[in-house]
């Protein structure tokens, strides 16, 4: 079994709150410099920046997992990861359709730009991406799974948009592939406060909005190879695959 | 004052948990953060919120609240309504927004010397 370091949660220039320094090139450079084997691109309610980060990383020995950080109707932030571009695209279209129709005001909220590998601006989504989508957390979970993706409530220890703050506790019927604990808490601390979380798998990402924070929190995967199926097995604790919060 | 008095006085919709309309009302609590309600709401209060998730009902029942009032014409999720029927804690609804509903309730509770 080999060990792989993966930052499972980070933002790019596409997130209005993400620094304009978070270009695909800068993110990949930081990730490689910090010895990460994989990063997951998880902008707010949009997956449009994933592919160009993936293309930049291709010849750098860095894997890129395409994902998104959904803000559900209950204002709970949830990470979703997808294996295939088609499913990613379908989910992206659904999110944008259900996203509240509030236009972004760049001077107030920040720029939302999709850039290519050469940092050319390709698109600027009109709607404010940090708003909530009109889908319950259960609907989001079901759709992610229907598309073969992985569903992980984000930074569950945080007061702002964490599932425990928003909903009081993790709903028993919600099929979470893992829970994310932020770098401001730990699995032990969470289990101390919420013993019912014992059976869940935990992972971590940096939630970086600035280049200096890339890799500031990460997940160490123990896998035979860095593939989608191996990652899935680690989340589900199958065949000795596992993950640890770092 | 009981829950059915509120339904009559404010023209509230009863979505579920109708058998609980004679529950005694001792005050109110307004919040959309469910962890906050878990920590701070008290037995007998009516809870005013726009959240419709099934956890609303789990918490209302855990805290032994008198009823839940959903604002802005929000209807409870199916699971929430089912649990409300099972536990007899009514889920009510209004087209008012939180500020208006809370203001009117506060005045009524003062008039009835509950607060």
Q: Tell which of B35, B68, B76 to mutate to test the A interface (max A CBs under 10 Å).
A: B35
Residues of A in contact with B51 (CB under 8 A): 74
Report the predicted TM-score, pTM, of the whole model to 2 decimal places: 0.94
The residue among A236, A240, A229, A227 whose CA lies nearest residue A4 is A227
Residues of B in contact with A161 (CB under 8 A): none
Rounded to 5 degrees, what are φ and ψ at B19?
-65, -10
**CA-based torsion, A232, A238, A240, A242: positive or negative:** positive
**A73/chain B closest Cα distance in angstroms:** 9
Q: Where are the strands (E) in chain A, listed by range? A: 2-10, 38-41, 63-71, 77-82, 114-115, 121-123, 150-153, 179-180, 202-203, 219-223, 242-245
Using a CB–CB cutoff of 8 Å, tell me whether B33 touches chain A: yes
pLDDT digits (tens, 9 = 90+) for B5-29: 999 999 999 999 999 999 999 999 9
3-state secondary structure of B45: strand
Place of tokens 């999720």: B77
**B37/chain A closest Cα distance in angstroms:** 8
C-alpha–C-alpha distance, residues A27 and B62, integer Å: 46
pLDDT value for B114: 86
Of A164, A165, A167, the CB nearest to B53: A167
Write the class of the CATH domain A2-245. alpha beta
Other Cβ atoms within 10 Å of A68 Cβ, number: 28
pLDDT value for B42: 97
Q: Where are the domains of chain A?
A: 2-245
Q: List chain A pLDDT tens, one digit each, 246 residues.
A: 999 999 999 999 999 999 999 999 999 999 999 999 999 999 999 999 999 999 999 999 999 999 999 999 999 999 999 999 999 999 999 999 999 999 999 999 999 999 999 999 999 999 999 999 999 999 999 999 999 999 999 999 999 999 999 999 999 999 999 999 999 999 999 999 999 999 999 999 999 999 999 999 999 999 999 999 999 999 999 999 999 999
Architecture of the structural domain at B3-111: 3-Layer(aba) Sandwich (3.40)
Using a CB–CB cutoff of 8 Å, tell me whether A196 touches chain B: no
Does the pLDDT of residue B115 top 90, yes or no? no
Contacts of residue A213, defined as CB under 8 A and 6 or more positions apart, other chains included, come to: A206, A207
Rounded to 5 degrees, what are φ and ψ at A217?
-140, 140
pLDDT digits (tens, 9 = 90+) for B32-87: 999 999 999 999 999 999 999 999 999 999 999 999 999 999 999 999 999 999 99
Say if the Cβ atoms of B37 and A168 lie within 8 Å.
yes
Contact A116, A87 (CB under 8 A): no
ipTM confidence score: 0.88
Using a CB–CB cutoff of 8 Å, tell me whether B53 touches chain A: yes
Q: Where are the domains of chain B?
A: 3-111
Residues 44-83 of chain A with CB under 8 A from chain B are: 74
């Amino acid at each position: 079994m080999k060990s792989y370091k993966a930052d499972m949660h980070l933002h790019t220039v596409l997130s209005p709150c993400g620094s304009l320094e978070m270009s695909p090139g800068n993110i990949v450079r930081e990730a490689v410099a910090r010895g990460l084997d994989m990063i997951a691109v998880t902008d707010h309610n949009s997956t449009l920046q994933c592919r160009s980060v993936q293309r930049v990383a291709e010849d750098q020995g860095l894997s890129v997992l395409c994902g998104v950080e959904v803000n559900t109707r209950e204002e709970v932030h949830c990470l979703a990861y997808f294996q295939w571009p088609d499913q990613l695209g379908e989910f992206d279209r659904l999110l944008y359709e259900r996203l509240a129709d509030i236009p972004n005001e760049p001077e107030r909220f920040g720029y939302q730009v999709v850039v290519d590998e050469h940092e050319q601006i390709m698109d600027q989504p009109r709607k404010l991406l940090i708003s909530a989508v009109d889908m319950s957390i259960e609907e989001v979970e079901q759709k992610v799974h229907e598309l073969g993706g992985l569903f992980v409530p984000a930074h569950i220890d945080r007061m702002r948009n964490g599932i425990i703050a928003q909903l009081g506790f993790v709903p028993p019927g919600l099929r979470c592939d893992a829970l994310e604990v932020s770098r401001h808490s730990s699995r032990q601390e969470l289990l101390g406060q919420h013993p019912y979380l014992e059976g869940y798998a935990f992972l971590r990402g940096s939630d970086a909005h600035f280049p200096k924070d890339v890799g500031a929190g990460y997940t160490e995967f123990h896998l035979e190879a860095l593939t989608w199926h191996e990652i899935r097995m680690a989340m589900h604790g199958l065949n000795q695959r596992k993950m640890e919060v770092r | 004052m009981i829950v059915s008095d509120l339904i009559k006085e404010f023209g509230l919709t009863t979505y579920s948990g109708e058998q609980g309309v004679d529950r005694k009302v001792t005050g109110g609590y307004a919040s959309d953060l469910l962890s906050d309600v878990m920590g701070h709401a008290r037995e007998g209060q009516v809870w005013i919120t726009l959240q419709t998730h099934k956890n609303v009902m789990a918490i209302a029942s855990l805290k032994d609240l008198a009823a839940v009032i959903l604002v802005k014409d929000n209807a409870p999720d199916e699971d929430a309504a089912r649990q409300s029927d099972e536990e007899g804690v009514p889920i009510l609804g209004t087209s008012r927004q939180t500020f208006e509903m809370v203001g009117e309730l506060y005045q009524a509770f003062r008039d009835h010397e509950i607060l």
